[in-house]
Amino acid sequence: MAEAERIIGTPDIPEAEHGADGGQDAGGGQDAEGAQKPTGKRKIAVLFGVALVAYALDLVSKMVVVAKLEHHEPIDVVGDLLRFNAIRNAGAAFGMGEAYTIIFTVIAAGVIVVIARLARKLYSLPWAIALGLLLGGALGNLTDRIFRSPGVFKGAVVDFIAPKGFAVFNLADSAIVCGGILIVLLSFRGLDPDGTVHKD
């Protein structure tokens, strides 16, 4: 067999189509030493960086609200158009579905798992930002549901941003909504999380 290979020769394998180990890379043509892999890792770093910032801002704001604003009169921020008013919300975002706290807790945990799985195939910066906002917001409200009264997985979320004529919400809700809007816009543009663009 070795003699036959010596006589026939081994066909050249283009580097653009195969990795260093001879197998084609699933990422779209670049091997482990190419540009795509580090780029993908940077996008994952952006995702978790955005999530960390969103989570930290939400957590700190809730700590301040509970310590300084809860059980006190609302604070007018922009006349009567916007005020800070601390309330406890056992439902979903904007006070919806208070009878289903445990279900919303499970959904939030599921969203976090899905985002973590998507991160492995993430090569798009806008998607990294959108998923980071969703992850940070979901973690923020999930923390409330786990650690706040009346009990584990039944905790009420701290809301405090109260625009006139609108439901009271928090920074985690804002991050989730902004992330969701960005995902819708990216989907309309045909941009996938792996960086490919498709047109229907």
* Below-50 pLDDT ranges, the chain: 1-38, 99
Angle at 43 between CA 39 and CA 49, to 5 degrees: 140
* CA pair distance 38, 40, nearest whole angstrom: 5
pLDDT score for 151: 77
pLDDT score for 111: 87
pLDDT score for 100: 52
Q: How far is CA 105 from the centre of its chain?
A: 16
Tell me which residue of 73, 186, 89, 182 sits closest to 140, measured CA to CA: 89
pLDDT score for 76: 93
pLDDT score for 39: 65
pLDDT score for 185: 96
Provide the 8-state DSSP code for 118.
H
pLDDT score for 109: 85
Backbone angles phi and psi of 191, in degrees to 5: -90, 125
pLDDT score for 149: 85
Whose tokens are 């969103």? That residue is 54
Active-site amino acid positions = 159, 173
The percentage of residues in the chain with a pLDDT greater than 90, rounded to a whole number, is 49
pLDDT score for 194: 85
Between strands 82-89 and 157-163, the pairing is antiparallel
pLDDT score for 46: 95
